[in-house]
Structure 1
Amino acid sequence: MSDPIRLAVVGMGKIAHDQHLPAIRDNAEFRLVATVSRHGEATDGLPFFASIDELAASGLAVDAVALCTPPQVRRSIAMTAIAKGWHVFLEKPPGATLAEVVTLCDAADAAGISLFASWHSRYAAGVEPARAWLAERTITRATITWREDVRVWHPGQHWIWEPGGFGVFDPGINALSIATRILPHAFFVEQAELDVPSNCAAPIAARVDFRDTQGTAIAMDLDFRQEGPQSWDIVVETDAGTLTLAKGGGELSLPGGETPAGTALHGEYPGLYARFAEIVRAGTSDVDVAPIRLVADAFLRGRHIPVDPFVE
């Protein structure tokens, strides 16, 4: 395939408009040919469909789809796309459950389809330099603090509080996607506390203790109730000093004022679409389940603590 990849975007919410559409427009590897949503309207005069089934029945030439729907409905949509022979880009989290993602991997492999589980925070500017620096250090402790105001970042998104919506682990999985990329040893959940509002099915805050295979402690603090300054920080203590990755991976500080190597990526979503084009052209897939596996384990091992109802 040498012509632009003909792409349809499914699920036209905030993330699609804010991140996906601009990244697609700026990447010559792709040509947006349609959008799909239960709500909304056509984009740039392109064909618009109310469902993936309508798109599939239309006869429109499509090579790939980017799925930006809530995770609870993503598996069935992805299976329809795979059955049509379309490559699939999954917004994070890639599914409502780990088993769903594994099933999609198996289906894509059987069909010879490229499947991409996109972890956008891994494409932040500081992540790869942090990974390279930590690879040569002994880690003594790590702390993950992800605190944001859900009313600002997820206004009106009721699906996030439903089963499979992840609650505070929706942003928390961004932190885990970075941590599983930069930390040199695998880590696992030892214990967790999940604060669940009495009117919700998913947590509004969580505290999780991890330990890696070398015995190093990793503590994570997530909270959707943060007002004022927001925190998206990972601090890693090592034998050579402390590394701080702030602003969701966008700002890296090393001990002694060292200047990290630069990155060729310009923004997270442009990096994601460059990677998606790469695997489509190569006929491969890129699906790392480590972040969603850790979230599943936090729910498995977590103690649920009832807290006040959440009212937006």
Structure 2
Amino acid sequence: MLLRRVARPMLAALFIQGGINAMKAPEGHAAAAKPVFDAMAPAVDRAVEMAPIGQRPDDEMLIKIDAGVKIAAGTLLAFGKYPRLAATALAATLVPTTLAGHRFWEETDPQRKQEQQIHFMKNVGLLGGLLIAAADTEGKPSLGWRGRKAAKLAAAATAAQAGAISGTASDVTGRVSGAVHDVGGKVTGSAHDAGGAAAGLAAGLAGIAPAAASSRASRRRADLSSRAGEISADWSRRAAKAQHKAEKRAAKLQQATEKRGAEMQARAAKRSAELQKHTAKRLEKAAPLRDQAGKLGHDVAARAAAVSHEVAHQAEGLAKDARKRAHALSH
């Protein structure tokens, strides 16, 4: 936008000039800012202890750092690069500069005090402009608005899906339980069939084999029967375990769905109550207006009736006068 391209350099020019002047002559600025440095000494000492530097920088070095920040941030603001961050940095440097250079409450000369007060208020105005520039999103939605919009969309989507999830959870529970029962029945039947076939095969072998193989066929038949029983028991245990997991999972899904549905219902009820309360307040505020409108209408009707009566009376008088004049003219 053209306005921002013009206003940003105008706002940044003073800070760039002040930073250059402070960089050229840091001694005078350090002497003027000595009261502020003395008041900020404990905070600066704590920052030096946490920072990876050997000793505290002198006052002139602090002035040069402040001047560098003003020049860099002012240049970025003038060219529209990271304008919000640059404006925030300039606002942070303006506060100590104002307290150090324009302490009008310490002046004894009235004229000097008035001049310093004017400069102080000028810097306050610059601070307000910098704060506006730091909050300027150039027409884009702010992060707070985006968060609230996303929350509303998520709430609407959750409310739409809550009913579907509730019905789906019950359907899934029934299907899983039925499938587990079917698998268990089929596995058990297959195991018994395998055991019967193995037993029949062993009996046939025992009948047609020589007598010497009778004992071997009996042992084989017993092994097959035992193996079939183990397989059947193992599949039965697996089926029961799967059924238990499915029922537990379905119960958790149903519980979560009911809890979410209750939360959404509570929010909807709260919102409805707030809307009803707001509507009642609006109606209550509008009641005096309705009364005034009714009273005004009544007054207007009364005045209209009075005016109509007066006009009719005057018209009747004029008609009588006209008749009298007509009668006089005819004679």
Q: TM-score range by the shorter chain?
A: under 0.3
Larger relative helix fraction: 2
Length-normalised TM-score, structure 1: 0.17
Length-normalised TM-score, structure 2: 0.16
Higher relative contact order (CA 8 A, sep 6+): 1
